[in-house]
Amino acid sequence: MIGGRVECEHCHELVFVSDYHSNCSHCGKRLHVSGGSKTRCARLDDEDTAPPTAVIREAPPEGGFSTVAIPGRGAGHGEDMPATGRIAEGRGSGPPAIPECITIDAEIGGPEAGHRAALVFERGEHGRERHTLAGAMSVLGRDEGYPRELRFPLDDLLSAAHAVFTYSGERVTVRDNGSLNGVYLKVEGRTALRGGEQILMGSLLFRFEEVRGAGRRGDRGETTGTRGMRAGLSRPVGQLVAIDVTGAEGLTYQLPAEKTLIGRESGAYTFAWDRRLSARHAQFEQVDGVFMLENLSQANGTFLRIRERVLEEGDVLRIGAQIIRVEYE
């Protein structure tokens, strides 16, 4: 196997190829790769056109992410994730540079017989749209989605090639392709939180942080830019840092060890303006030294940002403005 960027002799576009018999995605012709930088093109019948092959960077960038380039779509679509994610327009800074030649990290297998997955897009009052993942790799994005059913040009929260779905045995894995706004998984019931995790509730994006050194009751330890707790509760042992649409940090919301409710109408912290937030949306509590997050809203959901995950039946993802349920056939 090879990996590199070549110029098609017919359409003169620079495209990525993964082996000696790839296809030009711009003009629809076969590329017979020789030792030079150009290729010979041979016309293809429509049924011979192959889907793109994932080309993976040899070493992931700082922070553990790796990005996938879609052959024929240019280098490195999908931006590296910044230090703090935000729900902002996905047309962010330009893509990272990708070397002239890269190698295939691994073969991507197709769906095993009788074990295909489907992405079910929730459309509210307009019902649901179902897309079966029939190929070895599918890409969801604003401009570079593949196949076309996974392309959403009007969703400005998506990056060009936002998330990649690949088969691994009987299950599908989703991976954030270095997007600006991230991939989120809906919390079912209660889950343990780790410092630095990002939480999406309605239109609100927070970063969870642990606070070391609990103090006596009544000592709220408020500082400028911090929303404090009601009197009588223990000193904060955790906090939520709001991230605004520019990526800047906003107010910090203190969390005691006791149960702390967040919602549109009820709770220690309320956000009446956010229509995507349920009246009683989510609850935080420290149990045996571990902070727990409980989703109380089945309608709107509470989501955690993920980098890569093997998807199970019934998992719900939020990618851009898309709400997606995973089903296996």
133's tokens? 């993942």
Residue pLDDT, tens place only, 78-122: 333 333 334 455 654 333 332 222 222 334 456 766 678 999 999
Distance CA 85, CA 306 (A): 11
Contact 238, 284 (CB under 8 A): yes
- What's the average model confidence in pLDDT over 23-29? 60
- The owner of tokens 């994730």 is 81
pLDDT (0 to 100) of residue 125: 80
> How high is the mean pLDDT of the chain?
74
Distance CA 254, CA 273 (A): 20
Distance CA 10, CA 175 (A): 34
- What's the average model confidence in pLDDT over 11-34? 55
Distance CA 312, CA 64 (A): 23
- What's the average model confidence in pLDDT over 262-278? 95
Nearest to 60 by CA among 310, 307, 309, 311: 307
Distance CA 20, CA 18 (A): 7
Distance CA 142, CA 152 (A): 5
In this prediction, residue 237 has a pLDDT band, given cuts at 50, 70 and 90, of: very high
Which carries the bigger pLDDT value, residue 209 or residue 168?
A: 209
In this prediction, residue 294 has a pLDDT band, given cuts at 50, 70 and 90, of: very high
Say whether 91 sits in a helix, a strand or coil: coil
121's tokens? 């897009």
Which pairs count as long-range contacts for 265-274, CB under 8 Å and 24+ apart, including other chains? Answer: 268/229, 268/230, 269/227, 271/202, 271/204, 274/202, 274/203, 274/204
Which carries the bigger pLDDT value, residue 52 or residue 320?
A: 320
Signed CA dihedral, 261, 266, 269, 274: sign only: positive
Contact 83, 248 (CB under 8 A): no
Find all residues with CB under 8 Å of 270, minimum gap 6, and list them: 262, 263, 264
pLDDT (0 to 100) of residue 90: 60
pLDDT (0 to 100) of residue 224: 45
> How many other C-beta atoms are found inside a 10 Å radius of the C-beta of residue 312?
10
pLDDT (0 to 100) of residue 190: 96
Peptide bond preceding 71: is omega within 30 degrees of 0, i.e. cis? no
Nearest to 239 by CA among 280, 281, 196, 200: 196
pLDDT (0 to 100) of residue 58: 32
In this prediction, residue 70 has a pLDDT band, given cuts at 50, 70 and 90, of: very low
pLDDT over 70 (residue 63): no
pLDDT (0 to 100) of residue 270: 96
pLDDT over 50 (residue 6): yes
- What's the average model confidence in pLDDT over 187-195? 96
Residue pLDDT, tens place only, 128-183: 999 999 888 999 999 999 999 999 999 999 999 999 999 988 899 999 999 999 99
Distance CA 114, CA 270 (A): 47
* pTM > 0.95: no
> How many other C-beta atoms are found inside a 10 Å radius of the C-beta of residue 283?
19
pLDDT over 60 (residue 22): no
CA neighbours closer than 13 Å in the CB half-sphere of residue 94: 5
- DSSP code for 125: G
Contact 164, 68 (CB under 8 A): yes
pLDDT over 90 (residue 19): no
Say whether 5 sits in a helix, a strand or coil: strand
Residue pLDDT, tens place only, 307-316: 999 999 999 9
pLDDT over 70 (residue 124): yes
Q: Could you tell me where the DSSP H helices lie in the chain?
A: none
pLDDT over 60 (residue 202): yes
pLDDT (0 to 100) of residue 217: 39
> How many other C-beta atoms are found inside a 10 Å radius of the C-beta of residue 207?
20
- What's the average model confidence in pLDDT over 280-291? 95
33's tokens? 């790769």
